Amino acid sequence: KENGRNQFAFFFEDLKLDTHRSIVLDHELRQAIKSKAFELHYQPKVNAKKKIITGFEALVRWKNDQLGFVSPADFIPYAEETGLIIPLSELIIDQACKDWLALEARGYGHLTIAINISSLHFHQDNFIESTLKLLENNNCSPRSFELELTERTIMNNEKTTTRKLVLLKQLGFKLSIDDFGTGYSSLSYLVQFPLNYLKIDQSFIRQVTSLSEKQAVVDAIIQMAHRLHMEVIAEGVEQLEQVELLQGMGCDMIQGYYYSKPLPICEALAFLEFWKLEIEG
């Protein structure tokens, strides 16, 4: 991933003019969408108490012949600027459906796949309709999916947002607030919106075992979320000490390199088999 990013920076380095740069990127992205040059990698979410895998987060990767795997952090912002995020997002949802069917075929139909939804896509008038259509075309149910939305996304246009979130939840989707604690200074929306999960941002987890202030914040977030009937997912968990501390604080789910980096679907399936053996053995 680091490598991909460096090559990417290099590739665009001499494109000094921003407009030129975005024209090239725009062209590359369009081609990539046309040829479906994207892959989803899946990172397991582990129940902190029971140590079972409850689902995966889908994270997109762009396979570029010259650039290798380009990180989403590098191209998602451009895709949002140009509106290409809409067709890209639809590709992603379609692929997530197909990968969920692969999970189901191997006996893992009880697992959910979490999809990151960009703000621009969420706020399209036909977001719910077009998403349902993609699911229906694949014979998938909203119950098999979680939608990850950031604070910034849902703080836009509160009235229609509430309506959309309520409808999505009624349809059976699980709703997560992503990167919690980084985007918005008000907490009022937590009461207003029907959210299932709160994902504590990596920046809080990073020093949770060494800084008592971070620990206090994480502890308070977990308590608050539980009082609001939400479950808490810690992201970016890399160390056993973090797992143990978070579990002790009542955190519901753990996600991070400690268990696994995001994996291509076939490796994710192998990981599930391995996990089952570990638990049984």
**From CA 147, how far away is CA 138, in angstroms rounded?**
17
Tell the smallest beta-carbon distance from residue 212 to ligand C2E (Å). 22
Locate 75 and state its tokens.
């191209």
Q: Which residue number, 38 or 280, has a Cβ lying nearer to ligand C2E?
A: 38
Selected from 28, 146, 151, 179, the binder of Ca ion by CB under 5 A is 179
Helix, strand, coil percentages for the chain (3-state, nearest 5) = 55, 20, 30
Alpha-carbon 118 to chain mean position = 10
Among candidate residues 33, 160, 12, 182, the one with its CA nearest the CA of residue 94? 33
Selected from 53, 59, 67, 249, the binder of ligand C2E by CB under 6 A is 59
Among candidate residues 183, 182, 189, the one with its CA nearest the CA of residue 203? 182
Does position 44 interact with ligand C2E (CB under 6 A)? The reply is: no
Does position 238 interact with ligand C2E (CB under 6 A)? The reply is: yes
* Site stretch for ligand C2E (CB under 6 A), options 70-78, 103-111, 129-137, 273-281: 70-78
CB atoms within 10 A of CB 202: 16
Locate 126 and state its tokens.
């036909």
Locate 197 and state its tokens.
């999960």
* Site stretch for ligand C2E (CB under 6 A), options 71-79, 129-137, 163-171, 209-217: 71-79
Tell the smallest beta-carbon distance from residue 116 to Ca ion (Å). 5
Selected from 42, 43, 64, 144, the binder of ligand C2E by CB under 6 A is 43
Q: Which residues bind Ca ion (CB under 5 A)?
A: 116, 148, 178-179
